[in-house]
Amino acid sequence: MIVLSVDTAHAACSACVFDTRANRSLSLVSELMQRGHAERLADMVQEAVVAAGISFADIERLAACSGPGTFTGVRIGLAFVRGLALVLKVPAVGITTFAALAHSCRTGSDGRDIWVIQDARRGEVYLEGFDGDGDTMHPASVLSISEAGELLRDASGLAVGSGTSLVALPDAVAVSEVSSIPDAAMIARLAGKAADTGAAAVPFYLRAPDAKAQLPLVKHRETALSIEPAGVEYANVLAAIHTPCFEDAWDSTAMAALLATPGAIALLATQDKDGDKNPSGFVLARTAADEMEILTLAVLPHARRRGVARALMQAVREHAGQSGVSRIFIEYAQDNQAAHALYESAGYARNGVRANYYKNPDGTASDAVTASLCLNEAEPLPLSANP
C-alpha cells in the first residue's frame, strides 16, 4: 500500500510517501518551522510525490498526525488529507502523537514500558503510557506536572516527548533520544495498519483550544477595499460569508477541506474602516496544470453593488495570470442574472449548458451555464455568443 502522510501539528512541517509492502519510505520532506505550515504543506507534498517517483493516482491511503499538538497545526494537516481524500477517493486516517512517538521508541526498548510525555503549557503535560506489547496501560490524559511526577514515581521503562524535562522522573525511567516531533514515516507505517472505518479523520484533543476563532464583524458602510489570500485558518470566516449567500452553503469543515486540496486558493475581500478589516466577500478557485476553475464566489448581502464581486474577479484573474494559467472556467445558474452580468463584463465566454443541473428548494431545477475566460486572447467572445 502506498501511503502519503503529513505532520503539521508540531514545530515542523513534514510529508512522506511510504510503501507498506516494502516497509520503507519512498520519500521524506521535512522542515523545522513554528508557523507557516499551511503555506508550505501543499508544495512539500508535491515535492514528496515527485521524489517518490509516483503520481497522486498511485496513493492508496492518506494520513496525518491528529495531535495532541498546536490547535491550528492539527487542523491544517487533517484538513489537507481530508480534502485530498475527496479528490483521490481514498481513505484518510489520523495517527496520534502518542502512537507515533511510542512506536518510534519500540525498536531497542527491550519490551519496556513507554511513557509519552508532551509539554501542554500552563504547567501541564499530555501523557499516555504503553506496555511492552504496545497496548495502552494509562489512557491519554492532561496532568499537572506534579500529578505526572506522582503517577510515574514507581514507574519504569522509557520516556519520550517534549515534556520529559518538565517531570521529575524516577531512576527507573530513562529518557529516550527519539525526537519529540513525530516521524512522518512512522505515521504512514501506522496508517497502513489501521482499519478503514470509513469515518473522517478527526483531531485528537485532550482539552479545548486556548482561543476560539471569531465570526467577522460586519459594518454596513462602504469603505476602502483590500483583497488578500486566505488559508485554511480562515475556513470559519469564509463559511460565515457563504451561509447567507447560498441555500446549500458550505460549513467550515467543508471549506477547510477545499482549501487544503492541491492548487486551491481563496481570496478574501475586506473593507478597511478605522483600522478594522471587515470581511465582505471571497472567491475560491482551484488550479490544475494551466487551467483554473472558480468553485464559488460569495459577497455578503450588505456589500453587494459596491464593486466587491468585480474586484474579486479581477484579483483571481491576476492571480491566474501570475500562476501561468491559460484558461479560467466558471459555472452558474442560467437564471442568475446578476452572475450573468458580472461574468459577461469580466469577459467570460459561454461554452455550454447543463440541463436541470441545480436543484431548487421548491423542487424545480435550473440549467447551469458553463463559461470560460482565455487569458491568452486579447478579445474574448461575449458571454451571449453561441457555444
Mean pLDDT along residues 167-194: 95
* pLDDT given at position 267: 94
Strand 365-374, strand 327-333: pairing: antiparallel
* pLDDT given at position 65: 95
* pLDDT given at position 274: 58
Q: Please state the φ and ψ torsions of residue 211, each to the nearest 5 degrees.
A: -140, 145
**Is the pLDDT higher at 249 or at 283?**
283
* pLDDT given at position 258: 82
Look at residue 384 and tell me whether its pLDDT is greater than 70: no
Cis peptide before 182 (omega within 30 of 0): no
Give the range among 285-294, 363-372, 373-382 with minimum mean pLDDT.
Answer: 373-382
Q: What is the pLDDT of residues 250-263, one digit of tens each?
A: 887 778 878 887 88
Mean pLDDT along residues 106-112: 84
Look at residue 279 and tell me whether its pLDDT is greater than 60: yes
Task: Determine if the pTM surpasses 0.75.
Answer: no
**Are residues 104 and 183 in contact, defined by beta-carbon separation less than 8 angstroms?**
yes
* pLDDT given at position 48: 96
Look at residue 298 and tell me whether its pLDDT is greater than 90: yes
* pLDDT given at position 214: 41
Q: Tell me which range, 141-145, 234-238, 354-358, is most confidently predicted by mean pLDDT.
A: 141-145
Mean pLDDT score across all residues of the chain: 86
Mean pLDDT along residues 160-167: 95
Mean pLDDT along residues 368-378: 81
Question: Which cell numbers in the block locate residue 260?
Answer: 487544503
HSE (side-chain half, CA atoms, 13 Å) at 204: 20
**Are residues 161 and 180 in contact, defined by beta-carbon separation less than 8 angstroms?**
yes
pLDDT-derived band at 382, boundaries 50, 70, 90: very low
Look at residue 287 and tell me whether its pLDDT is greater than 50: yes
Q: What is the pLDDT of residues 113-159, one digit of tens each?
A: 999 999 998 899 999 999 988 899 999 999 999 999 999 999 999 99
Using CB atoms within 10 Å of the CB of residue 183, give its burial: 0 to 12 exposed, 13 to 18 middle, 19+ buried.
buried
Look at residue 248 and tell me whether its pLDDT is greater than 80: no
Give the range among 17-21, 56-60, 186-190, 299-303 with minimum mean pLDDT.
Answer: 299-303
* pLDDT given at position 367: 85
**Is the pLDDT higher at 231 or at 33?**
33
Give the range among 16-20, 164-168, 235-239 with minimum mean pLDDT.
Answer: 235-239
Q: Please state the φ and ψ torsions of residue 35, each to the nearest 5 degrees.
A: -150, 170
Using CB atoms within 10 Å of the CB of residue 148, give its burial: 0 to 12 exposed, 13 to 18 middle, 19+ buried.
buried
Question: Which cell numbers in the block locate residue 261?
Answer: 486540496
Q: Is the dihedral of CA 223, 229, 234, 236 positive or negative?
A: positive
Sheet holding 173-175, edge to edge: 136-144, 124-130, 114-119, 157-160, 173-175
The maximal CA–CA distance of the chain, rounded, in angstroms, is: 81
Q: Tell me which range, 31-40, 154-163, 209-218, is most confidently predicted by mean pLDDT.
A: 154-163
* pLDDT given at position 240: 85
Percent of the chain with pLDDT over 70: 90
HSE (side-chain half, CA atoms, 13 Å) at 367: 11
Question: Which cell numbers in the block locate residue 143?
Answer: 496532568
Euclidean distance between CA atoms 223 and 225, whole angstroms? 6
Euclidean distance between CA atoms 315 and 380, whole angstroms? 18
What is the chain's alpha carbon radius of gyration, rounded to the nearest angstrom?
24
